[in-house]
Amino acid sequence: MIVMFGASSDIGRRATAHLLDAGFAMRLVSRNPDELDPRAEHVMGGASDAGTATAGASVVISCAHARHTQQILDGLGASPASVVLVGSTWRYSKVYEPAGQEVVKAETVFATSGRNGVMLHPTMIYGGIQENNLRRLFATIRRWPVLPVPGSGSNLVQPVFVEDVSLCIVAAATRVWKGAHVVPLCGPVPMRWRDMAEQCMTVLGLRRPMLPIPLAPAITMLELARKVGIRTPLDPNVLRRFQEDVTFSPQQMMDELGVTPRDFATGLAQMLAEDGVRL
């Protein structure tokens, strides 16, 4: 029996479909049971229900936020089930913020738990019905005559397609792990943010001149606004991450999980094919 938390997430639903198609019995834990695959057993609940929801499990997958890792692992008790956890490459960022620190804490909890399994850290996920990364970029391209570019747009990004993440979860759930492992999930090669934006404009059939936004004064303005109680739509830490390069090798993902990430152009085409209307 494979038990999945966060089963109503986009990657959860995709991984569930693959596992059920392959003949695995599944128990799906979610607070949104109407969105779950009817072929599986359903449990209404979340990480706090891990003690009962994981009974008899051989593998436990969590597509829920990494902050729930401690609860899920504690709920397993003496169960020998292996685990597949989804984190984020935010844990490698040098920008100190709560979201990234929650993933760091979750990885530490997992590494010291004595459990067999793996924590998967995807880079920026694009595609599917729930992600907001490229959707916000598409919306900006469509709405404005120019595209604001934080900094020069020369920082490196390495987006990974949602289906590749789900395939990695499936592969991780169906192999034997000895000890606690960590595997980053990423696209095949890094690219400049501005090159990613150029490809997005191309698939939309729109051209927008790029307007560089100096990072230092923009971050200072956002910080000052927050200090005086003004709510801003953009977190200054988001801009700070534009000063970092995201670069990972996909080799571990390919060697240990057997998944070769698709290139960005191919992923964009599939994103359009799956959900062209909302783009």
Greater confidence (67 vs 235) lies with 67
pLDDT band, very low/low/confident/very high, at 33 (cuts 50, 70, 90) = confident
With CA atoms as reference, report the closest residue to 8 among 30, 41, 26: 30
Question: Phi and psi for 255 in degrees, rounded to 5?
Answer: -70, -45
With CA atoms as reference, report the closest residue to 137 among 204, 213, 81, 80: 204
- pLDDT per residue over 193-242, tens digit each? 999 999 999 999 999 999 998 988 888 888 888 888 888 777 888 888 88
With a pLDDT cut of 70, the percent of the chain lying above it is 99
Q: How far apart (Å, rounded) are the C-alpha atoms in residues 46 and 139? A: 33
pLDDT band, very low/low/confident/very high, at 279 (cuts 50, 70, 90) = very low
Compute the average pLDDT of residues 255-273: 95
Find residue 98's DSSP bridge partners: none
- pLDDT per residue over 107-146, tens digit each? 999 999 999 999 999 999 999 888 888 988 999 999 999 9
Q: Determine the pLDDT at residue 235.
A: 80
Greater confidence (112 vs 34) lies with 112
**pLDDT higher than 80, residue 276:** no
End-to-end Cα spacing for the chain: 37
Helix, strand and coil percent figures for the chain, each rounded to 5: 45, 20, 35
**pLDDT higher than 60, residue 278:** no
Greater confidence (98 vs 91) lies with 91
The residue type of 157 is V
Task: Note the Cα 219 to chain centre separation in Å.
Answer: 25
Q: How far apart (Å, rounded) are the C-alpha atoms in residues 197 and 128? A: 18
Q: How far apart (Å, rounded) are the C-alpha atoms in residues 132 and 256? A: 29
Q: What is the mean pLDDT of the chain?
A: 92
- pLDDT per residue over 80-94, tens digit each? 999 999 999 999 998
**pLDDT higher than 60, residue 60:** yes
